[in-house]
Structure 1
């Protein structure tokens, strides 16, 4: 028996025991105590505890420490787990027998309650067998599996809405991660911004701009936070805009006279594709016709690329990467090149050579789209060779599945995975003589066709937003088709499709009612209403209502100057020299001779000046006029 350890032990008869204490000359004994002493001490402890409880009036003194047996607990847990597994396996079998017993009990109870003769057995339905019940259970389980499979292959195609971008083909389209705004770009150089919460059923964009002048838009990509928009155009410089379309960053243009692209700070040719890093909001990727793919950092302001990747063909020459896509972990990206090759680059390793490469992934034509699955183990590619292929990154030597006869005319045609990676979506252009393009939905396991949505003209861009659960398709006539399900699609086009179109606010004019009072006083009499024509003619004569301009003047009056000028010479000529104006149709000789008599009688200008010095005329002009002129003789 182990000894109990007690700290701070108080004895009830402390005063009595203290008198019995005898002093000894030793400290005690060493070694284990005797058995009798241990028993005596334990009895004393128990009696003292009882006395203490009686004195203090307590039945229990403190709480006893709980003891746990770990082995017993593990044994109980394993026992309950086994019982649960047995119950889960035996429920289906026991339910059948229980149902039969319940039916028997119910029949007995019903027999007790029935009044009158029993129903003949020929009229009763046959009792269900155990086998039929098990078959019913299997059918129910199979129906549940089919419903789950339908949920996995769900496609929101019950309703559609249209948004008018312009008249040219839509070659770029994206939705921000929250699903609040849509941005679309076209060959007509315009970028339109659409806000689903602020639109009505007219589906009009709230802003349209040309961020890259006269360059077609090839790609639009929202960042992971949705506050920045990357614009990829035919120019050699990429631009980063904010949510409202204002420019934030423009990448630098490289020196086209330098052959080594690694020594230039930017692209030297037109851009082809781009994208944001899904894990780093400050990093984005651009590809160009100069045969390079460059990584940029926003913190550097686009003044210099962060790193560069050079794509090489099989013969060693440079090849243009026409499509790109980041892996969802942000550590690698895939490039589809113009020679039909597929190259995977790992950012954790050296960028001298690709981590994985497949030279003949497609025929030697442009790859229009490259996309990773959401899980990240598969890759889908779309090419101008009218094929779409599905790849497994764990076995990259050969494609898993392939679909052909997918005609396309644009080098930005999309191929994407659905939100749950069970469906693959791609677009096709309208063939010659056919009016419709197609949005095709394939099952990712085997690429079997599930649904075909027809759209007028060519279909270029396809987008399936996971949060909105809506599919957007841009065609060749500048129209964006939005497909959604009224029960399972959230926000997006469902917000504005049901809103009524806003009416244009017009100025309200309240016509005053006219009261005819023929016998009223002239002060209160109202004029009779005239026709609009007569009222317009009357207002035309009023210079105030018609706002007549100032009439031309012929003389200076009221501080105004005539059109002849405002100088002193013009004033002198107008007022002194031409005070008595001569009509233009009058003979000038007659106009001068009109003043001859007045000048002779009252000379003013010339005659008084030469009066004293002027010689006297001897011959009169009349005599000279009467005599004939002397003719000179003719000399032979």
Structure 2
């Protein structure tokens, strides 16, 4: 082999005939048009031969052809655009926009003098639309639709919805607590369970726990109860000793309860307030046998005062109390349980504080009182209210005042004055307390309010036993929207034949049985049968001694008839004759007395009758 030399050959389909040998040379060769044309012609011939032999024209994909000159021109054009000064770019952009606007414009153009701000106006509208889309309306109230749930005939004084929004519990002054399941209800809106957890005590407050599995029931009794989701009792707090003066030494409340709620962070802790002037916290897992901690609210003169409204702070460590004397007291167990952390004595006029709520975000506190006012406070500056609204009449000491889920709105209900016929809910802007909306509820008092954050629905308890739910079809989820669209259908009761029969239509009339389509007639016949219907004994119409009178008027006659004698003895028969009937049989066949004394019976000495001797006369005393 000759080293350093490269030889090129060509492979064709006819390897023997068409192969051409190219002799090796010192150089590769020259490139030019003639030889390129020859190669292209040879390639086309080979493709045709391959197509004839194998049926295909080529193998794999074709290689892409790139035009180098065109690519270079594009690169130069982009480089020129980048290196242009900014003034030229603006001129070109204005020319392009003018040309586009001229193309889109129909009719004569508007003179610039008539609409000088036309160019700036569209941008403002577009910016405002985008802002509205980015920031939704904070003062939105879901009130486009409503449904009505009937609790009873008396005022609904307690309403609570679990955190998930699946169930609603309502309490009333008629002692009943009703449970409502939104997923299981239809448009008839009927509760699935009603019970009386506190017997003959009105329900004041209901509150679901943070997990939604327990319901705290605050009634007029001194003992609070905790129910599960289905209404079964899980806990009852202990009753305190009313003869002990120091309330800290008793294990429970000694007077009727007023309010209560669950801790938002500690799921097993809840608190209750009572007319005995104390606030007690409880642990669910301890069974309610003893309170966990106690707060004793005091008036300005040092005497005890009843807290009528109470709530936990968002962190679950601060307790806010509204008292009968109109004072507000904030207690922090991290500091002291003897004196309040902060208080204001004359927050309201003397009277029940019906509601007290912390804002969802921030440090605001909302209070409602029987002095017809609603006030907003700042906890950091707890000396003077930020805003105040008056002329809000209420007859109930559980009337609510609430925040909206975003704290932008505060709402409260009012009771009817004399000669008024319409109850309303008033909505105020929380930043300035200006009224933004009001909703007509019914021709009765408006007591309880609840604005659920997940459902975005407002539940209202009224004075005529109704619960109204307001919602928006677009912005409210689940809850009442699930059952409002379900159609109430009556259950079709299928009538079942009690006993299976053999039907013989061609039998003789003597053996033919009538075919019963329903079991009603058979049930009526069975009802008349005292054995099949298991009829109890009929009452006695005459006689004395209850059921004994059927066998005689006295107990002795009952014993004689049923136990002593095998044969019945008529009451009209002489008892001496009835006994002497058995004298001959008793002498011939002795069974009881004679065999018992047979061995010990003394012998009879004289069988005759002894002569009757007259007794000696008595001597008279001298």
Indicate whether the TM-score tops 0.5: yes
Q: 1:255 to 1:549 in 2, by over 3 A?
A: closer
- How far off its partner does 1:123 sit? 2.9
Give the corresponding residue for 2:213.
227
Q: Are 1:428 and 2:414 an aligned pair? A: yes
Quote the Cα distance in structure 1 between the aligned partners of 2:201 and 2:473. Answer: 38
Quote the Cα distance in structure 1 between the aligned partners of 2:340 and 2:256. Answer: 23
Quick one: which of 338, 345, 348 aligns to 2:331? 345
- How far off its partner does 1:282 sit? 1.4
SS in 2 for 1:152: coil
Q: Are 1:478 and 2:468 an aligned pair? A: no
Q: Are 1:124 and 2:109 an aligned pair? A: yes
Q: Are 1:303 and 2:289 an aligned pair? A: yes
Q: 1:134 to 1:307 in 2, by over 3 A?
A: same
Q: Are 1:318 and 2:312 an aligned pair? A: no
Give 1:357-506 correspondences, 5 Å limit: 357-456=343-442, 457-506=444-493
Quick one: which of 103, 108, 120 aligns to 2:97? 103
Quote the Cα distance in structure 2 between the aligned partners of 1:98 and 1:428. Answer: 68
Quote the Cα distance in structure 2 between the aligned partners of 1:527 and 1:543. Answer: 16
Quote the Cα distance in structure 2 between the aligned partners of 1:543 and 1:313. Answer: 74
- How far off its partner does 1:150 sit? 5.8
- How far off its partner does 1:221 sit? 0.7
Quick one: which of 139, 145, 159 aligns to 1:159? 145
Which of 139-148 and 388-397 deviates more? 139-148
Unaligned runs of 5+ in 1: 1-94, 112-118, 511-516, 530-534, 551-561, 579-636
Residues 595-615 of structure 1: CA deviation (Å, up to 9, x unaligned): xxxxxxxxxxxxxxxxxxxxx
Give the corresponding residue for 1:279.
265
Quote the Cα distance in structure 1 between the aligned partners of 2:99 and 2:153. Answer: 76
SS in 1 for 2:334: coil
Quote the Cα distance in structure 1 between the aligned partners of 2:282 and 2:93. Answer: 69
Asked whether the 8 Å contact 1:96–1:133 carries over to 2, the reply is no
Quote the Cα distance in structure 2 between the aligned partners of 1:395 and 1:545. Answer: 78
Unaligned runs of 5+ in 2: 1-88, 498-504, 533-549, 553-560, 575-622
Quote the Cα distance in structure 1 between the aligned partners of 2:451 and 2:365. Answer: 16
Quote the Cα distance in structure 1 between the aligned partners of 2:457 and 2:493. Answer: 37
- How far off its partner does 1:260 sit? 1.1
Quote the Cα distance in structure 1 between the aligned partners of 2:227 and 2:528. Answer: 51
Quote the Cα distance in structure 1 between the aligned partners of 2:121 and 2:281. Answer: 60
Q: 1:567 to 1:169 in 2, by over 3 A?
A: same
Quote the Cα distance in structure 1 between the aligned partners of 2:346 and 2:527. Answer: 81
Q: 1:545 to 1:389 in 2, by over 3 A?
A: closer
**TM-score, normalised relative to structure 2:** 0.66
Residues 329-381 of structure 1: CA deviation (Å, up to 9, x unaligned): 11212100101011111121111111111111111111100000001411110
Give the corresponding residue for 2:204.
218
Aligned length: 455
Quote the Cα distance in structure 2 between the aligned partners of 1:144 and 1:235. Answer: 56
Quote the Cα distance in structure 1 between the aligned partners of 2:370 and 2:94. Answer: 65
Quote the Cα distance in structure 2 between the aligned partners of 1:476 and 1:270. Answer: 22
SS in 1 for 2:119: helix
Q: 1:105 to 1:323 in 2, by over 3 A?
A: same
Residues 410-435 of structure 1: CA deviation (Å, up to 9, x unaligned): 00000010000001111111111112
Quote the Cα distance in structure 1 between the aligned partners of 2:526 and 2:198. Answer: 51
Quote the Cα distance in structure 2 between the aligned partners of 1:160 and 1:99. Answer: 56
- How far off its partner does 1:96 sit? 11
SS in 2 for 1:314: coil
Give the corresponding residue for 1:622.
none
Give 1:561-580 correspondences, 5 Å limit: 571=567
**TM-score, normalised relative to structure 1:** 0.65
Give 1:31-46 correspondences, 5 Å limit: none
Quote the Cα distance in structure 1 between the aligned partners of 2:192 and 2:90. Answer: 64
Give the corresponding residue for 1:554.
none
Q: 1:103 to 1:221 in 2, by over 3 A?
A: same
- How far off its partner does 1:309 sit? 0.9
Quote the Cα distance in structure 1 between the aligned partners of 2:363 and 2:472. Answer: 29
Quote the Cα distance in structure 1 between the aligned partners of 2:392 and 2:228. Answer: 36
Give the corresponding residue for 1:329.
315
Residues 287-336 of structure 1: CA deviation (Å, up to 9, x unaligned): 11111111111222211111111111111111110001111111212100
Give the corresponding residue for 2:502.
none
- How far off its partner does 1:267 sit? 1.0
Q: 1:100 to 1:499 in 2, by over 3 A?
A: farther
Quote the Cα distance in structure 2 between the aligned partners of 1:292 and 1:335. Answer: 10
Residues 193-247 of structure 1: CA deviation (Å, up to 9, x unaligned): 1110011111111111111111111111111111111111111111111111111
SS in 2 for 1:305: coil
SS in 2 for 1:123: coil
Quote the Cα distance in structure 1 between the aligned partners of 2:507 and 2:254. Answer: 89
- How far off its partner does 1:461 sit? 0.3
Q: 1:96 to 1:134 in 2, by over 3 A?
A: farther
SS in 1 for 2:118: helix
Note the aligned Cα RMSD (angstroms).
Answer: 3.8
